[in-house]
Amino acid sequence: MECQTITLKSNLKINTLIQGDKTGPALVLLHGWPSSSLLWRHLIPELSKHFYVLAPDLPGHGKSDKPETARYDLAMFRSFILDFFDALDLKKAHLCVHDLGGMAGLSFAVRHPERINKFIVMNTSPYSDWSLALRASIFMLKQKLATRLFLNRFIFREVLKNGLHNKKLVTPDIVDIFRSPWTGSKQGWNAFSRTLAVPPELMVEDRDALKKINLSTLILWGKKDVFFPFKIAKMLHEDIKTSSLVAVDKAGHFLQEEQPEFILREIIGFLSES
């Protein structure tokens, strides 16, 4: 995988993993919070045999710029997607989104459907009724922010234990992969804090607007997700009439970590259909 810095019209510098034939169909992968483009590391090598794959670190995440004056809400991340497409001259691309990237991606699909070829949505929620587990985790993290304990490996390990169905995958290596983007700089710490501080109501899309999405859509869902339960996948499937729903039985929130081979088959099969 090649790592490039993409400069947006706002002058934001976005760290991006890129692999594949540039003349092939483009596939943009958007991670969630609190991860980075490395969430897709198990998928990119195989996907790049079929697509021109671009996996950016969202603003405030990974090695991308972390502007201290930014408001890390839905509007900001939605605008980022448009600016990212424009910076790379992507008139149209497949879009695959997860978690925070999913919230932004769904909002982007409502407003800019002409920029999306096919759409893949994983474990996220554009709705206001966030799960008790997710709200409890956010509350816990806010408490830890006062002492910066979230940056401690133990705390991050506990978060991953909630996000992964297979607890054996919670190794020191994966903890460091998720934790490292937030450590080592004041900017990383501030971006983490500002993202966590955004009220849930500023991350919600209008449900009537979601029902107008007319894109060929695959909803891939880790069925054991305690943060975004499977009922949300069913709601999305009901709202997006052009969608198909595939449950990933032995996976929690971070299905890319738990079932990469299954996910690859589904993504490649879906995007390759005429």
Between residues 273 and 159, the one the model is more confident about: 273
Instruction: Give the mean pLDDT of the chain.
Output: 89
Most confident stretch, 136-140, 225-229, 254-258 = 254-258
- Band (pLDDT 50/70/90 cuts) for residue 269 is very high
What three-state secondary structure class fits 269? helix
3-state SS of 168-194 is HHCCHHHHHHHHHHHCCCHHHHHHHHH
Residue 105 has pLDDT above 50, yes or no: yes
pLDDT tens-place string over residues 168-191: 999 999 998 988 777 766 677 677
pLDDT tier for residue 107 given thresholds of 50, 70 and 90: very high
Average pLDDT over residues 130-159: 58
Decide which of 185 and 246 is more confident. Answer: 246
Residue of 108, 107, 134, 104 lying closest to 30 (CA atoms) = 104
Q: Is the pLDDT of residue 147 over 50?
A: no
pLDDT (0 to 100) of residue 146: 47
Burial per residue of 199-234, b for 16 or more beta-carbon CB atoms within 10 angstroms, e otherwise: eeeebbbeeeebeebeebbbbbbbbbbbbbbbebbe
Strand stretches in 165-263, DSSP E = 217-222, 243-248
Q: Which domains does the chain have, with CATH numbers?
A: 2-272 (3.40.50.1820)
Distance CA(31)–CA(61), nearest Å, equals 10
More confident residue, 119 or 206: 119
**Residue 137, pLDDT above cutoff 90:** no
158-162, 199-203, 210-214: least confident range: 199-203
pLDDT at 153 over 80: no
The pLDDT score that the predictor gives to residue 144 is 53
Residue 270 has pLDDT above 90, yes or no: yes
Alpha-carbon torsion angle 31, 250, 129, 209, nearest 10:
60
pTM of the prediction?
0.92
pLDDT of 140 > 60? The answer is no
Residue 145, pLDDT above cutoff 70: no
